[in-house]
Amino acid sequence: MKRKHYVYLFSTFLLITITSFVITLVASGFRIGNDGTITQTGIISINSAPDGALVYINDVPKDATNTNITQLKPGTYSVRLEKEGFVTWREDIKVVKQTVTRADALLIPLYPSFSPLTFTGVINPVLSPDGQKIIFQSIEPNNAGVWLLDLTDRPFNLSSKPRQLLVDTENLTYSTMSIVWSPTSDEIQLSSPNVIMREGAIPNIYYYSLSSNHMLDPTPTGIPEEWAQTIADEQDAILKTLPEEDQIKITSFAIHSWSPDKSRILYTTTQGDSTEYNIYEVPGIHTNTQPSPTPPSHKTITNPILTVDSNYTISWFSDSKHLLVVHQNDEASGVVEIVEVNGHNRTQIFNGSLSQKTVFPSPSGTKIIILSRFNNETDGYNLYTLNLR
């Protein structure tokens, strides 16, 4: 009887040990074949915005996002995401054994909806450095002056109403002045470069504080230099955290712009009449607090990612993972596209009425803001949102 008891205990222990071992192997990326052979596998973790897209691996339907596709042998897989009403997303993804490869897809609607942001008539809109606000001017009767539009998302998808900061007067036509944002996005500079300064004349440069909602009086001096120094200090602070080799490389670039999260640099090179846009990933600068398990080979960006002529304008999307590509067909129409930082999945968002190549992303990345006109009977343009979600 005792012997049977020991045999039972030993068998149970052995079964638990083997089961635990098999579970550990599977969890670690090993796959046990029908013939008993054990092979190492990897995982693709696929996320999409919006989610609920059907995932195809090598044209075989698997699951809906967000999901993990497991038990994949090392190699390159053709991944496709499809969701009704959205442009298909495609990418070739390399799977490495015992590694989770992350893929994030931004799905673009086939027919984005429009919403008006302004009704005042808009000229010369300028996005703040923090991407949270737009300053614009209006020359329409009863609206002439300088206006501010807050882009911060509100509950129930409601937009903020623009408010007028400065009203044109007989002596000061703020609506015709040039406007520059401070690097901290809390002040603006207004200037009339065509005004000839003379003794006793009013100044042609003004500074408006958004925190106090008043013009700075008397007009301070040295602010442009202070602003330039602030920008330089911010970039120097990032560079000092990098190895000397990377510092030398970055300072040699013709930098177009830094990404919003400072993790990437967009720089340019000239080839004849065309401009090549290149991406440099700043080592160790990432806003995502979660460690990225993506193998380095999958992160490699092949430059240039874009080669375009002077009719195109390139700018960052708010997620620092995409770029906005704007082409002005003529004075009244243009095309807006979005492309991933590796140059893949270049997708048209809009083709129609567009003025001044004006295209801005919303801070949340759920909308694109354009300067457009949908009534041919009016001469004025206004700001509209293209709703991506």
CA angle 60, 66, 68 (to 5 degrees): 60
The answer to whether residues 87 and 30 touch, using CB atoms and an 8 Å cutoff, is no
User: What pLDDT is recorded for position 297?
Assistant: 38
136 in Cβ contact with 355 (< 8 Å):
no
Q: pLDDT tens digits, residue range 23-53?
A: 555 555 555 555 555 578 899 999 999 999 9
- From edge to edge, which strands make up the β-sheet containing 54-57? 60-64, 54-57, 75-82, 89-95
CA distance 140 to 123: 10
d(Cα 344, Cα 327) in Å, to the nearest integer?
18
Tokens of 230: 């602030």
Give the model's pLDDT for residue 290.
Answer: 41
Distance CA 174, CA 166 (A): 7
Coil, helix or strand for 62? strand
Which strand (E) or helix (H) includes residue 205?
strand 205-209
Domain ranges of the chain: 2-106
Question: Taking a C-beta distance cutoff of 8 angstroms, is the pair 284, 242 a contact?
Answer: yes
What is the Cα–Cα distance from 123 to 358, expressed in whole angstroms?
10
Helix H or strand E segment including 49 = strand 42-49
Structure confidence by residue, pLDDT tens digits, 157-192: 566 899 999 999 988 899 999 999 999 999 999 998
Q: Are 260 and 318 a contacting pair, CB within 8 Å?
A: yes
pLDDT of residue 298: 44
Rounded Cα distance between 387 and 194, Å, is 39
Taking 70 as the pLDDT cut, the residues of the chain under it are 1-38, 155-159, 193-203, 285-300
Backbone angles phi, psi at 246, to 5 degrees: -70, -35
User: Where are the alpha helices (H) located in 308-361, listed in sequence order?
Assistant: none
CATH code linked to domain 2-106? 2.60.40
Q: Left, alpha or beta for 221 (phi > 0: left; psi -120 to 50: alpha)?
A: beta
pLDDT computed for residue 299 by the predictor: 46
**Of residues 240, 344, 342, 232, the one with CA closest to residue 283:** 240
Please provide residue 203's backbone torsions phi and psi, each rounded to the nearest 5 degrees.
-65, 155
